[in-house]
Structure 1
Amino acid sequence: MAKRKSLQQDDCPVARAVDLVGDRWSMLIVRDALDGIRRFGDFQRNLGVARNILSDRLSLLVEEGLLAIQPASDGSAYQEYVLTSKGESLFPAILALRQWGERHLFAAGEAHSVLLEKDSGKRVSVMQPRDHEGHILKPAQAMVKKIVRK
């Protein structure tokens, strides 16, 4: 299989992000980690992914600083994968994909999972990009401008 070209030097942040976490297994691992899964076997059972693929994705997510390895919280000989702050900061991206999927990928009345606030039990509000005054921002109202970080 030919090796794909890395986009980690691309000047587009979307390209760099998709290059790192854009495959289905990486995103689903992050989703599961956000849901509290920490052990290799639990990820494997929940996702049904081949062990070699899971091992590869977990290693990449650790290498890139989205997950960290720590001793098992129950004192056993196992290790756990825990989200770092960099990994946790993917929560809005996962939420946006979830809400887009809820809107566009299920038929009316079709059962699916929903994300609820733990304290209230209410559904999490739909994410909407907003302008500097708090109004909902439409795609035509935004533009991309390349900048140089100092």
Structure 2
Amino acid sequence: MDTAPDFDRLRQPQWTPFDAPSLVGKSLRFVSGDPQGNRFRLRYFRDEKNDLVALAWFGEETEGPPGHAHGGSMAAVLDEVLGLAAWAAGYPIVVGNLNVHFRRLLPLKLVARVETEIVSVKGRKVLVRGRLCDDAGNLYAEADCLCITILPG
């Protein structure tokens, strides 16, 4: 990789760094497993509402359409971040359903923002909504994630 992603430039001053992957241990190897690699790089924060926010860099190894991230790579990032949003809110979950709505091609080597919101909790079902966008307001994808809480032992 020729230059490191500039996470500090895009971090909002009111965001607090948050070690979201530590909530689930080493099971996050596909997306967050190689923080210096050429596929993905993510940094997690809590925003002023205490919701989980991630800055995600899409490297050359995520390429689908020439010069742009593959839709599967965008879905993988949304899967991890929205699932971790539920964990960060106190709900140990697995993802039951992820619906991704792609809005535009995402350029490679872009640091995008994933915003999350816990929409509802009904019994064991936790609905999380997310947006993958950039600091200029471009929307690349939106997702709804139905999470199911894990039953104790």
TM-score after normalising by structure 2? 0.28
Structure holding more strand per residue: 2
Structure label with greater radius of gyration: 1
